[in-house]
Amino acid sequence: MAENYSQQYRGKVSHVYLGEGKAESLNPEVKKADTLYNKHMQELFDIVAPEAAAERIDAVNTQGDIAVKTAEVLRGKSTAWQQYKEHKNIKQFINDLDTEWRGRELPHKLERFLLFSVMGGFYSGLDFATDFVADTTFLRKDVGRLGVGKLTLVSLDDTDSNGNRKALKAGWEMLSDKLISMFSDKSVKEATNRDDVEFVSPISDALASVGNVIASIATPSEKRGVARFLNAVINPGTIEAGFRSIAAIPVVGAKVENMYIALNKQLLKGEGVLPYGFEVALSMLAAKESQKKNVELIKEHVG
Amino acid sequence: MKHDISDFIHAVSHSKLLNREQKRELLEHPEALPELYRMELAIVLHKYDERARMREDEVRNRMEEATKRFVKDLDRHNIPDDVKSELLEKSHKHVASLARQAATS
């Protein structure tokens, strides 16, 4: 019976589960097969692993190639002219060329042009009004002196032989320009609710300073209308508004804007020929004015 | 132009590099892409697929060689046939999936 009992299991049972712990195979061939199989799996892994790594590198490089090809296409299509050759739309070409030259999309060009033109006109009107006030009050020809009571601070004569009238006018012009500049800056601060912004840029300030001196020297004193017009227009607010309204013109304005930015950068950094140029110009103009005065005095003395 | 687009469409739709979403995006309006870009992209994708196919073949060949050596080892050690066939079946399944993963992991 025991023999029959064992016969039914002979050759069928290869190992017995002994509960917890690893079951040991009783068949040495199977144990050997497991070992060979593990060795075979290791060999397969040694074949596959480097290839998988190489494939990753290849995929990354290929994706990089695609990115470069895309960039080349975009670069080639980046110019307005290239795009115009495809769409043949003049209006779009002008807009694209303007954006390309400006380096940014500038919206509402017409509105900007009108706004800054109006602002420039307003500041000119303000300057004209201040000049008019001065010309009709303390700079009138019949005013012989400026002072308090019997104390004379500045003596004036109708021929301006001592140059005080001209100096007073120049000083008043500078003061009114400064006030207009402060007014425009304050307006921008209020409109934008920011304290770190201003309207008048350094280039407009500098051009106004030099321009006023040139205008006062170059304009004959009898051409009062011309002098008044030039003085009204040459102020920081109007010059700045002029720059900005011209800069709002498509295409042409882009180059003006680029020049405006470049000039301001030079002045802000104190680099380049521009700051030096303005200093020289102002010095020379002051010297010329002084020389002219000396010549007039010499003529008087000799004559 | 038509041949170019069909080549591009074929390259993208059969690409092993791109996923489904990327294929869908590229194939949405292929005619809107510049012709040169379509051509160059198709070339890049073709070349990648070719290299992936070569990698897959190479890996499969090497793994089949390894499997033959495994079979010889099993025979040399007189492993019973039932155990041998079971192990070979498992090995073949592994070889197939590993070859695919190596090509486009």
- Chain B CB within 8 Å of residue A71 CB: no
- State which H helix or E strand residue A243 sits in: helix A236-247
Q: Region B77-91: what's the mean pLDDT?
A: 87
- Chain B CB within 8 Å of residue A51 CB: yes
- Chain A CB within 8 Å of residue B57 CB: no
pLDDT tens profile A207-216: 888 888 777 7
CB A204 within 8 A of CB A174: no
Write down the pLDDT at residue A193. Answer: 83
pLDDT tens profile A36-51: 899 999 998 899 889 8
Write down the pLDDT at residue A76. Answer: 63
Polymer length in residues for chain A: 303
Size of interface A-B (CB pairs under 8 A): 92
Residues of B in contact with A37 (CB under 8 A): 70, 87, 90-91
* Chain-chain contact of A48 with B98 (C-beta, under 8 angstroms): yes
> What are the DSSP E strand ranges found in chain A?
145-148, 151-155
DSSP string of chain B, one letter each residue: -HHHHHHHHHHHHT-SSS-HHHHHHHTTSGGGS-HHHHHHHHHHHHHHHHHHHHHHHHHHHHHHHHHHHHHHHHHHTT--HHHHHHHHHHHHHHHHHHHHHHH--
Tokens 């320009």 belong to residue: A177
* Nearest CA-CA partner of A184 in A265, A121, A259: A121
* Chain-chain contact of B55 with A37 (C-beta, under 8 angstroms): no
> CA-to-CA distance for A26 and A31, rounded, in angstroms?
8
pLDDT tens profile A74-109: 766 667 887 788 778 899 889 888 888 887 888 888
Query: A209 exposed, middle or buried (CB, 10 Å; 0-12, 13-18, 19+)?
Result: buried
- Chain A CB within 8 Å of residue B49 CB: no
What are the residue ranges spanned by the domains of chain A?
107-302
Tell me the C-alpha to C-alpha distance, in Å, between residue B100 and each of A47, A54, B56: 13, 14, 6
Give yes or no for residue A223 having a pLDDT over 70. Answer: no
CB B83 within 8 A of CB A14: no
State which residues form the domain around B32: 2-103
Label residue A289 by pLDDT band (50, 70, 90).
Answer: low
Q: Per the structure block, which two tokens stand in for A18? A: 């002994």
**Which of A55, A58, A60, A69 to mutate to test binding with chain B, by most B CBs within 10 Å of its CB?**
A55
pLDDT tens profile A110-150: 888 988 899 899 999 988 898 888 888 888 878 777 778 88
Question: What percent of chain A shows pLDDT beyond 90?
Answer: 11
- Chain A CB within 8 Å of residue B39 CB: no
Write down the pLDDT at residue B1. Answer: 47
Q: What is the residue-averaged pLDDT of chain B? A: 85
Q: CB-CB: which of A40, A58, A70 is closest to B48?
A: A58
Between residues A171 and A289, the one the model is more confident about:
A171
- Chain B CB within 8 Å of residue A63 CB: yes
Between residues B35 and A156, the one the model is more confident about:
B35
Single pTM value for the model:
0.52
Give yes or no for residue A6 having a pLDDT over 60. Answer: no
Between residues B45 and A303, the one the model is more confident about:
B45
Half-sphere CA count of A260, side-chain side, radius 13 A: 21
* Nearest CA-CA partner of A232 in A116, A120, A124, A135: A124
CA distance A52 to chain B (A): 4
* Chain-chain contact of A29 with B79 (C-beta, under 8 angstroms): yes
Write down the pLDDT at residue B95. Answer: 75
Write down the pLDDT at residue A303. Answer: 45
Q: CA-nearest residue of chain A to B98?
A: A48
Q: What is the residue-averaged pLDDT of chain A? A: 79
Q: CA-nearest residue of chain B to A11?
A: B80
Q: CB-CB: which of A29, A44, A56 is closest to B94?
A: A44
pLDDT tens profile A181-211: 888 888 888 888 888 888 888 888 888 888 8
- Chain B CB within 8 Å of residue A85 CB: no
| Domain count within chain B | 1
Q: Per the structure block, which two tokens stand in for B57? A: 């073949």
- Low-confidence winner among A177-181, A288-292, B59-63 (lowest mean pLDDT): A288-292
Half-sphere CA count of A150, side-chain side, radius 13 A: 0
Q: What are phi and psi of A151, to 5 degrees?
A: -80, 120
**Cα angle vertex B9, ends B7, B15, to 5°?**
95
DSSP helix/strand/coil, A155: strand
Residues of A in contact with B51 (CB under 8 A): 58
- Low-confidence winner among A62-76, A119-133, A221-235, A275-289 (lowest mean pLDDT): A275-289
- State which H helix or E strand residue A104 sits in: none
**Which of A34, A39, A44 to mutate to test binding with chain B, by most B CBs within 10 Å of its CB?**
A44
